[in-house]
Amino acid sequence: MRTTRSSTSIANPLAVPAVYGPGIPCRKATWYDEDAPRRSIHTSRDFVFHQQRRRIWSPAFSGKALRGYEPRVARLNKALVEQLARSNGETVNGAAWFNWWSFDVKGDLAFNKDFGMVEEGRSHYAVQMLNEAMGVQCLKLPTWAFRIMVAVPGAASNYCKFIGYCDDQLTARLKEEPKSPDIMSTLIPTVNPSDPAHGVLTLQADSRTIIVAGSDTTAATLTHVFLELARHPEEVEKICSELSSLLAAGEPVEHQRIYKADHLNAVINETLRLHPVPPSAITRKTPKEGIRVDEKYIPGDVTVSCPQIVLGQSEECFEAAEDFVPERWCSRPGMIKEKAGYVPFSSVDSTRRGKSMPDALSKTVPIWIAVLNRLLFPTYEDHHPLQTPPTVVSGLEHAQIALRIDGFVEDARRLSLDIGKFKNTLRKPLQPIWLTPATDLQNIRINDRRCWPVVLCTASSCDSVERSTDRAYVQGAADDHESWAHGLSAVTFWQHQGLLLNTPESDIDAEISHIVQMAAQQIVDRPRILIQPTSGLFISNNASALSESGDIDVLVYCSERQESLLEDAFARSGRLCIHLVCSEGKNGSRQLRVQLEKLQAIAKTSSSKTIMCTCPTGRDLAVGVALTLLCRYFADDGNLDRLSTSAINKATIKQKLSWIMLSMPDAAPSRATLQSVNSILMS
């Protein structure tokens, strides 16, 4: 729905990943410029600057840092409970108390000094000024109009006074280091007076982000949680019962003891679904080329948003959408029809601090183990359930995955695999076992001789930042979504670890770039691999194309440049050589879609019995070409059939892709490559 001439509201769950998801080109809208020239991690619209600030902020939210803040929060928790207890059953304004508590906590974390509101039972004058100033936001003024109003003396006096108060508190904090660290203990050492991007102005803006962005959201969520608990007292009993099982009598309530309380988390999630934090929606600006949402085109430079409250209460996304049912987040995941509709605040990428292992070890491998155990050993029912590490995969996510295992098994059966061969190779079921730096090896027992243990080991640690230098950033789980590795692979890192670890931080990016360039220039031959059950389809890389193609009738090579030497060799012997003009990376995968039409030349040859496909790596584009050939010109028994008229569907493509993966386990066709192949085959 168009809300202004250049603004659109999209109440479609498919829009959420397109507007807010990781790696998308949409950026923050101009509303975030209202605090210029100050830029915080929250308000910055500059992607590079945001990433720099994110690196600086990360240690402030390490496991050690969060545990260090816990006594501060516990002190104010106790003060709040004591104040509420003095009401003696009389009605109290819970929203006000939660607001005071939230601002006190954030003030203490930002300036080592709370606002004293919980203790005094009334609002602080600075917070009162902020609340009055925030009322201007309800006018929904254009950014330029807001900037003019701030510039006019007296027009936004309360807003300016609040900024002045926060700046004064920060100045005082800069002069005194607290006994126990606060968030500023991490941010202050990074201030660089000679770099305006990371100077005092930025620190001032970040300090207000802690106060404003953290307090309002926390207070609103707490208010709505207790509102729903008042409406549903049975949920209070369930939470108390759950906490009793996690905590001994008199034991302090600490995050490490209760963060996996499934029903408590479910109550919070359900509250956020019905009462998302933003009052309207978070705005983003589309890129110049525009975006597509559910096949609909949205032009560039348009302000877009997804109304969280509409999505959260939509029957399209949730069963019984207007009802408060926490179980949908733990024991009844079937009530979630479209999880993309759950956007209580914003959408972030999957690089999460404190993640102790990659998804491949916590979810992907366990899924395959469950599928293989059911497929190959149907009588071993005690090995059929999905097993995931409970400290990494939530109860809700585990239940959602478990519901799909039977479907995965059926998909595997339709591939017509040689199940007997696999069963004879394995002989007994698989059992996943997880090892991390936090694992107590004394508690690991592998005594069950009826199964093979699959040890899933990771060196990643939730508290990896704690043991590093103050300003370091260490990924939580072997992810690199933000490309901080700059193309450095695990192999090249270990080959040059001594050099890299002794290179000054100021020179590290240049050194990595040099190493990556040198590695790319190293040509490695790759022996051709036969794709079974065919007897004449091979895959290799371009470096081996000439040496491996002596007895090949047809060569299909993917390269940005024409290889004259290669083509001349095939022309002299009367053989067919097809050049698919594709660069490397995603662009090459997209170019493949057009280039695949050249494969029709193979159908016109009558003597070609052997075909070899190559690309720079031998693992991506060549796999896409081979898959296209298998689906178009090879029968289900693996024999070459140039005149095949069989219909091609998704099942056919999956089956033929399984031939490649079984023959060549290190094949790694990108998603873009497979999309190009599907587009050609299904058109």
Task: Compute the distance between CA of residue 105 and CA of residue 121 in angstroms, rounded to an integer.
Answer: 15
| Residue 447 neighbours by CB under 8 Å, 6+ apart | none
Give residue 254's pLDDT. Answer: 77
Residue 197 lies in a domain: yes
Give residue 454's pLDDT. Answer: 92
Pick from 249-263, 423-437, 460-474, 587-601: least confident: 460-474
CA 674 to mean position of chain CA atoms:
21
- Cβ-contact 158, 136 below 8 angstroms: no
Task: Single out the residue in 435, 457, 479 at which a domain terminates.
Answer: 457
Under the banding of pLDDT at 50, 70 and 90, the label for residue 134 is low
Site of tokens 């019905």? 274
Q: How far is residue 280 from each of residues 137, 176, 303, 308, 309, measured CA to CA in Å?
A: 12, 40, 14, 7, 8
Residue 592 lies in a domain: yes
Residue 176: give the domain boundaries: 63-231
Bigger pLDDT: 163 vs 75: 75
What's the pLDDT tens digit per position in 244-295? 888 887 777 777 778 778 899 999 999 999 999 876 678 889 988 888 887 7
480 & 566 share domain? no
Q: Residue 630 pLDDT > 80, yes or no? A: yes
Mean pLDDT, range 165-194, rounded to an integer: 88
543 & 505 share domain? no
Mean pLDDT, range 315-326, rounded to an integer: 94
565 & 656 share domain? yes
Residue 182 lies in a domain: yes
CATH classification of the domain holding 150: 1.10.630.10
Give start and end residues of each alpha helix (H) in 522-669. 545-548, 564-572, 585-595, 600-603, 621-633, 650-663
- Which helix (H) or strand (E) segment is 204 a member of? helix 200-208
Under the banding of pLDDT at 50, 70 and 90, the label for residue 240 is very high
| Residue 175 neighbours by CB under 8 Å, 6+ apart | none
Cross-strand pairs, 529: 539
Task: Single out the residue in 231, 256, 278 at which a domain terminates.
Answer: 231
413 & 493 share domain? no
Give start and end residues of each alpha helix (H) in 435-551. 490-495, 497-501, 508-521, 545-548
193-197 own/partner pairs: CB under 8 Å, 24+ apart? 197/39, 197/49, 197/52
Task: Compute the distance between CA of residue 365 and CA of residue 352 in angstroms, rounded to an integer.
Answer: 20
Burial class (CB in 10 A: 0-12, 13-18, 19+), 295: exposed
Domains of the chain: total: 4
CATH classification of the domain holding 626: 3.90.190.10
Residue 634 lies in a domain: yes
372 & 389 share domain? yes
Task: Compute the distance between CA of residue 56 and CA of residue 182 in angstroms, rounded to an integer.
Answer: 14
Site of tokens 């302000």? 303
| Residue 274 neighbours by CB under 8 Å, 6+ apart | 224, 228, 312, 313, 322, 324
Task: Single out the residue in 231, 246, 268 at which a domain terminates.
Answer: 231
Bigger pLDDT: 413 vs 469: 413
Residue 18 lies in a domain: no
119 & 73 share domain? yes
The residue type of 543 is A
677 & 547 share domain? yes
Bigger pLDDT: 130 vs 565: 565
Under the banding of pLDDT at 50, 70 and 90, the label for residue 161 is confident
Task: Compute the distance between CA of residue 209 and CA of residue 615 in angstroms, rounded to an integer.
Answer: 49
481 & 553 share domain? no
Give residue 323's pLDDT. Answer: 96
508 & 551 share domain? no
Residue 86: what are its φ and ψ, rounded to 5°?
Answer: -75, -10
- Which helix (H) or strand (E) segment is 108 a member of? helix 94-111
What's the pLDDT tens digit per position in 24-41? 788 888 777 666 677 888
435 & 584 share domain? no
Mean pLDDT, range 55-61, rounded to an integer: 85
Residue 125 lies in a domain: yes
Pick from 32-36, 336-340, 516-520, 620-624: least confident: 32-36
Quick one: what percent of the chain has pLDDT higher than 70? 88
Report helix angle 157-174 to 200-208, nearest 10. 110
Bigger pLDDT: 457 vs 260: 457
Q: Residue 510 pLDDT > 90, yes or no? A: no
Residue 57 lies in a domain: no
Mean pLDDT, range 100-104, rounded to an integer: 93
What does the block give as tokens for 218?
């926390």
Give residue 652's pLDDT. Answer: 87
Quick one: what percent of the chain has pLDDT higher than 90? 31
534 & 628 share domain? yes
- Cβ-contact 608, 602 below 8 angstroms: yes
Prediction pTM value: 0.59
Residue 37 lies in a domain: no
Mean pLDDT, range 609-630, rounded to an integer: 92
68 & 205 share domain? yes
Task: Compute the distance between CA of residue 39 and CA of residue 379 in angstroms, rounded to an integer.
Answer: 62
Mean pLDDT, range 11-20, rounded to an integer: 87
